[in-house]
Structure 1
Amino acid sequence: MAKAYEFLANGFEDIEALAPVDILRRSGVEVKTVSIGDSIEVESAHGVTVKADMLFADADFADADLLLIPGGMPGAKNIDEHEGVRHAVMRQAEAGRLVGAICAGPMVLGHLGLLRDRRATCYPGF
């Protein structure tokens, strides 16, 4: 079974985080949501509190087929500034495994140089 991890940071965009989890789980992908903060509870940009499956500190992404970064502000900025996430994304990319990002999320990939010489779509401001 394929396995995906989605990073959640305070300020994530509700639909950009929750719809992919729903769709992937319905299609048989094992998805774990990962809070990058100190709390398992993460608050969306619109004030919805979500309980993540795990904390970043407890995660091991060695079995990840996909790492996913939702958009939303300041959620995407919070993810971009998290050194652990940045390191995990680089290891994933270097291993030739999938990394996905939505809306403002591709800024993380851009700052890591992973979009160089690639076509990508993101929110126009990014």
Structure 2
Amino acid sequence: MKVMCILTDGFEELEAVGTIALLRRAGMVIDVYAVESTAATGRFQVTFDRLLNTDDLCVDEYDALFIPGGPHYAKLEANACVKAVIKHFFDHHKVVSAICAAPTILGHLGYLKGKKYTCFTSMNEDFGGVYMDQYVAIDENLITGRSAAASIDFAFALMEKLAGKAKADEIKKSIYY
């Protein structure tokens, strides 16, 4: 399985690093892209460098999209390339996962209509779907997480969707979850 992660300055480190680390423990390839750059600094000043640039991506190579939350969501939502990537994943019925503030991007673009979802509670708007007051919501190929506190459950939901329950259980056991 191959996962694309997109972020930019202001991403939430716990959501990004935790999810990436757990998926890589399961043997997945996670390519991390920065918008219009090859580096991104999180909201708590942790910097990722040597990232891939969204100008060079080929979305057909990926099985899933992962968007961490954080204040960077507004920059991602305003970016034409990011919107095109999201559209591609939904149009091709691939897995789309977003946590915390990031599901609001999907909501503003109309992708949460008729779907079960969760997001950072204070950012929930009427997106036309069913808001789930829980850490993780799954609706077919859509996986959403509520907040940084939900990062581990979110990562395991994504892992189970992509690699199966047995692999998720194996990784859970390896970290004493």
TM over 0.5: yes
Give the counterpart letter for 2:11 in structure 1. Answer: F
TM-score by length of 1: 0.93
Bigger fraction of residues in helix: 2
Q: Which runs of 5+ in 1 are unaligned?
A: none
Q: 1:114 aligns with which of 89, 111, 129?
A: 111
Q: Which protein has the larger Cα radius of gyration, Structure 1 or Structure 2?
A: 2
Structure 1 partner of 2:44: 46
TM-score by length of 2: 0.67
Structure 2 partner of 1:4: 3
C-alpha RMSD over aligned residues: 1.0
Distance 1:36 1:4 in 2: 16
Q: 1:92 aligns with which of 89, 93, 101?
A: 89
- Count of aligned pairs: 123
* Stretches (4+) displaced over 6 A: none
Q: Which runs of 5+ in 2 are unaligned?
A: 124-177
Q: Please give the per-residue CA displacement for 1:74-111, whole angstroms capped at 9, x wherever unaligned.
A: x1111111111111111111111011000000011101
**How big is the shift at 1:43?**
0.6
Structure 1 partner of 2:16: 17
Distance 1:67 1:113 in 2: 17
Percent identity, aligned pairs only, is 29
**How big is the shift at 1:52?**
4.6
Q: 1:70 aligns with which of 52, 68, 71?
A: 68
